[in-house]
Amino acid sequence: MRKGVFKLTWVLCVVLFASEISQAQSGGRQVYQFLNLPGSARVLALGGYQPNLSDKDINLLYENPAAGNEHHHHALSFNHSFYHTGIQFGYATYGYHLEKSGITLTGGVRYIDYGTFQQTNELGEEIGEFDASELAVGFTASRQIYDRLSLGASVRYVQSGFETYVSTGLLFDVGALYEIEEENIFISLVLKNAGFQFQPFFESSEPVPFDIRAGISKRLEHLPFRFSVTAHNLHRWDINYDDPSQVSSSLLFGEEEEEDPRFSAVDNFFRHLIFSGEFYLGAEEQFHLRLAYNHLLAKELSLSDTRVFSGISLGVGFNIHRFRIDYGFGRYHTGANAHKFSISTNISEFTRSIL
């Protein structure tokens, strides 16, 4: 046990050290940001990140590569999002479980198409059109190494193209998932999107979207409900966005009102957290209701004079014969909401019915 924990700690330290190349900064300054978009409707409904769970849902392996299990053998899932201004985003994944070794292997492809744009010269004259899109192809391996602890790792090739600007890179995830089965508790730790660029957009390398995430989820004993708390951006404390357009209020005699540092620290703390819950309904729990609150999105996408309920997400999931259908909704802004649909199945169920 001690040797396994030592190996895990050593691997996490190596990946964390490698991530220093990325020089993680606030949002908007990193390449390949589409990798942080929710891959499935369920994850969108649960706040955008969900590394604290392992069940039959194969999409959870993108959130935490340690979430693989025997239920993912021949599991297949397709996901598609309808984002703002016609942006199309999707993710497809397939799993295979090696029974003898206990290793679960998955492969996945995620893509985003930003559409076609008008190209103009320095005088504003239209001279043509250009496309913008990004693609990532990845593989994941996970295994339960002890009764309670599972480990996993992912490797992902990424390619981005914006007009004549092209970038390629290789990113890695390392995850751990600890289960206390008798208490229905999962505890997670994930090092996400550490890596480097083969080809930067410009002469020097740009930072990749590295993140450290951790969390806990628990299913209540006398209620069909599981709640989760997920922390993200744990590698840096201050994730407040310094908005230059924000006008500070003033007191009499022209003196500016200073913000209480205690309030700022509390607000920054909760920006790291996502709170989510999932109800399991029906005789065989075939119907799910989901709700989440992401404080970072709520603060950064809010309006000072209008209540927009940004940061709220919700969704539903239900079984139809051998298929699982999920829908997720994310409230980002007054004119910018996200809708995502997922359809999942297990090919093994079809083969068993034929035989």
Domains of the chain, by residue range, sit at 2-120+127-238+260-354
CA 136 to chain centre: 14
Tens digits of residue pLDDT in 229-245: 999 999 999 987 666 55
Does position 246 have pLDDT exceeding 70, yes or no? Answer: no
Report percent pLDDT > 70 for the chain.
83
Tens digits of residue pLDDT in 170-229: 999 999 999 999 999 999 999 999 999 999 999 889 999 999 999 999 999 999 999 999
Does position 265 have pLDDT exceeding 80, yes or no? Answer: yes
Looking at the domain that runs over 2-120+127-238+260-354, which CATH code has it been given? 2.40.160.40
C-alpha to C-alpha distance for 234 and 34, rounded to whole angstroms: 20
C-alpha to C-alpha distance for 275 and 294, rounded to whole angstroms: 7
Query: What pTM, to 2 d.p., does this model score?
Result: 0.86
For residue 28, the SS3 value is: coil
For residue 66, the SS3 value is: coil
**What confidence score (pLDDT) does residue 259 get?**
59
Does position 6 have pLDDT exceeding 70, yes or no? Answer: no
